[in-house]
Amino acid sequence: MSLSDHLRYLRAMKGDVTPDEMAAAIGWEKPGEIALAEKRYRPVYETELIEKLADYYGRPAAEFHWHNARPRKFLTFAAARALRTREPLSLTLRSGETLTGTIEWWDLGSLGLRLGDGRLLCVQRHAVVDWPDAVNWEDV
C-alpha cells in the first residue's frame, strides 16, 4: 500500500481531521504538502514530514517508510506484468489475508483477480498492502 493510501486510511480512522489541522498539530508550515502526500501516489521525499506524521499517528516511522517504498505505480507495474504474462499474482490485503490469482483487468481503483477456484474478485487497490517486489521496469 502506498504511503498516500496509508495516510488517508489513518486520517479516516483518527476522525477525518483536515490536512490543515494536521499541519498545525505537527508544526508543519505547508499544509499543502500533507494534502499532496495523500493524493500523489508517489514517494514522499521530505523525511522530516514522514517522521512527523508517524509521530502524529503514534506509529513507528519505519512503518511509514515501508509504505513510502511501495508507490501505487509499483502495484500498477506488477498488475500489468501479471496480466501480460498470465502468471499468478499474490496480493496481501490490509485484513492480513493473501489472495493469489491471475489478473483479468486493472484500472486506477481496482483489480480483477481470478482465483484458482474460478471466482473473479474485484479487489480495491487501496486495500492491497503488499505484493511481490520483483518488478523489472523493463518488463512493463
- pLDDT category of residue 42 using cuts at 50, 70 and 90: confident
pLDDT of residue 135: 44
Q: How far apart are CA 113 and CA 102, in angstroms?
A: 6
Q: What tens digit of pLDDT does each residue of 83-128 get?
A: 999 999 999 998 999 999 999 999 888 999 999 999 999 999 889 9
pLDDT of residue 134: 43
Q: How far apart are CA 44 and CA 65, in angstroms?
A: 9
Asked if residue 139 has pLDDT above 50, the reply is no
Q: What tens digit of pLDDT does each residue of 50-81 get?
A: 999 999 999 999 999 988 888 888 888 899 99
Q: How far apart are CA 99 and CA 40, in angstroms?
A: 26
pLDDT of residue 133: 62
Say which residue, 32 or 112, is predicted with more confidence: 112
Please, what are the domains in the chain?
Answer: 3-68 (1.10.260), 72-139 (2.30.30.100)
Q: How far apart are CA 120 and CA 12, in angstroms?
A: 29
- Find the range with the poorest average confidence among 6-15, 40-49, 85-94: 40-49
